[in-house]
Amino acid sequence: MKISGFTIIRNAVMNDYPIVEAIRSILPVVDEMIVLVGDSSDDTLGLMQSINDPKIRIHRSVWDSGLRSGGSVLAVETNKAFQLIDPESDWAFYIQGDEVVHEKYHPAIKEACIRYKDDKKVEGLLFKYLHFYGTYDYVGDSRKWYDHEVRIIRNDKKIAAYKDAQGFRVGERKLWVKPADAYIYHYGWVKSPEQMMKKQKEISQYWDSNANIRSVITSPDFYDFNEFDSLQRFSDTHPAVMKDRIARKNWQVELDITRKQFSLKDRFLYYFERITGIRLFDFRNYRLLK
């Protein structure tokens, strides 16, 4: 069995993405790692080269600035990276630049890949998610955060990234998947208030209309992390590859997790899920095989 990893990245230094940690977190699982570096305004290429691991294959790309609607350029670049994977690989492990895998899940991930390798009905493996917010001490626990997503797909080029590359499809059809019994740790919302707003202004060009871009660019130079609906404290360990980054944190954000900011409907759905474990009326970007 062979597993290939793949990711895309652009302007990692200026936006302080944990891309080095993301890549290192799956290197023990994969046999090769495709890193597609977009045309950057900083030394993202040098940062990727500094990892200096023989499994890594670095390629270059130019992002199409005209693909602004809904982050579609991210899917285009993700598909480019997927096409670069060794045709002999059975599975392709996609990791985004702000996602990290805890080493404690490596055995479960490998086991799932082995178990379903020859079951062609299984087109992907489904991961659970933890979304960190503000600092490394808080995670979002409301319905606004997606709780599952596909991150390992079969190396079948009929599969392609969908919309903003959050998930994958075959044409418009959702993938048939099995759970991998592992978590993705998403750190995209963990930055200083100043760095968070800087990132928001940078990435707005891939998502918004010209009017919205102007609105984001002219907004204050710091992000208000108090604009959340529900959080809980994180009391477990972070991936080992995150140790140095966490130690370098140079900002403090204190958030009141007792405060819940819900509409009446969302409050009912939130507490129903807390009590029953069932997420009603949830959108799924996949189809779960029995």
Given a cut of 70, whether residue 200 has pLDDT beyond it is yes
What does the pLDDT read at residue 161?
A: 97
286 versus 200: the higher-pLDDT residue is 286
Cα separation, 244 vs 236, whole angstroms: 17
Q: What confidence tens digit (pLDDT) does each residue in 212-254 have?
A: 655 666 677 789 999 999 999 999 999 999 999 999 999 999 9
Q: Quote the pTM value.
A: 0.94
What pLDDT digit, counting tens, does each position of 18-45 carry?
A: 999 999 999 999 999 999 999 999 999 9
pLDDT per position as a tens digit, 62-99: 999 888 777 899 999 999 999 999 999 999 999 999 99
Lowest mean pLDDT among 125-139, 149-163, 189-203, 210-224: 210-224
pLDDT surpasses 90 at 168: yes
